[in-house]
């Protein structure tokens, strides 16, 4: 899909879900793998730009690696509360609940979309359903589902 403006789309997702923060992480190039947050809406600061996300580490890394959505409705009561420093984005953006979904290209995860709230129990399974309903089959050049070839 040409001329897909991710910034506008990220803003719209945030408006639609009435969320505090939406972030989009993408891999930078095909061969030299580097996953970073590229687009943000509702961010408190620009620290998200600093992180180089590692496959398997942090929210984006875990979703990227496993290829499954991750939903934590209340971080304080979750098991990650003990090692929040491994989730710097949670600390710096003061996230209390979030969901993150993988975005696909050629049956590989190429991006991660994070929807977060600064209130606990604000993001739930219901939010996930709404998001998937809103996005439909694709988001820009990414598929929202893993396509079986």
Partner 1 sequence: MIQMTNEQMMSFLMKMYKNSSEAIFFLDDQNQILALNPSAENIIDPSVLESIKGGGISSVCSFCRGYSSEEQEITCTECYLQEPSKDFSSFQVYLETKNRGIVPYAATYHSVDENDKVFVFMLRDLTTQYKTQESLYKNQLTKKTIQAQENERKRISRELHDSVVQELVSMLVDMRVLKYMDNKDSIVEQVKQSEESLNRLLEDVRDLSVFLRPASLDDLGLEAAFRTHFKWLENNYGVQVNMQSTLNQNRYSPDIETAVYRICQEAVLNATKYSGTDQIHVLLSENSEGLELIVRDHGKGFNVNSPEVIGTGLGLGGMEERAEIVGGNLKVYSVPNEGTTIYFKVPVVSRVEEEVHENNHS
What is the CB neighbour count within 10 angstroms for residue 13? Answer: 19
The residue (of 64 and 135) whose beta carbon lies closer to partner 1 is 64
Q: Are 17 and 134 in contact (CB under 8 A)?
A: yes
* 38 touches 50 (CB < 8 A): no
Judged by CB under 8 A, the stretch of 3-11, 17-25, 27-35, 138-146 that binds partner 1 is 27-35
CA geometry: angle 27, 71, 64, nearest 5 deg: 20
Per CB under 8 A, which of residues 31..90 are in contact with partner 1? 31-33, 47, 50-52, 54-57, 65, 85, 88-89
Tell whether residue 1 is a contact of partner 1 (CB under 8 A).
no
In the complex, least distance from residue 92 CB atom to partner 1, rounded to whole angstroms = 6
Task: Specify the 3-state DSSP secondary structure of 117.
Answer: strand
Q: In the bound complex, what is the minimum distance in angstroms from residue 80's beta carbon to partner 1?
A: 14
Give least dist CB 60 to partner 1, A.
12
Judged by the rule CB under 8 A, the positions of this chain that interact with partner 1 are: 27, 30-33, 47, 50-52, 54-57, 65, 85, 88-89, 91-92, 106, 108
């Amino acid at each position: 899909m040409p001329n897909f403006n991710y910034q506008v789309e990220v803003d719209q997702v945030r408006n639609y879900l009435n969320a505090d923060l939406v972030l989009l992480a993408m891999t930078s190039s095909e061969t030299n793998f580097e996953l970073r947050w590229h687009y943000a809406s509702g961010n408190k600061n620009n620290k998200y730009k600093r992180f180089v996300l590692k496959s398997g580490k942090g929210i984006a890394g875990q979703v990227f690696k496993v290829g499954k959505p991750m939903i934590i409705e209340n971080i304080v009561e979750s098991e990650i509360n003990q090692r929040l420093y491994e989730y710097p984005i949670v600390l710096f953006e003061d996230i209390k609940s979030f969901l993150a979904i993988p975005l696909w290209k050629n049956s590989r995860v190429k991006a991660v979309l994070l929807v977060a709230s600064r209130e606990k129990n604000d993001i739930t399974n219901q939010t996930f359903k709404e998001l998937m309903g809103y996005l439909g089959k694709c988001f820009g050049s990414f598929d929202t589902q893993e396509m079986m070839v």
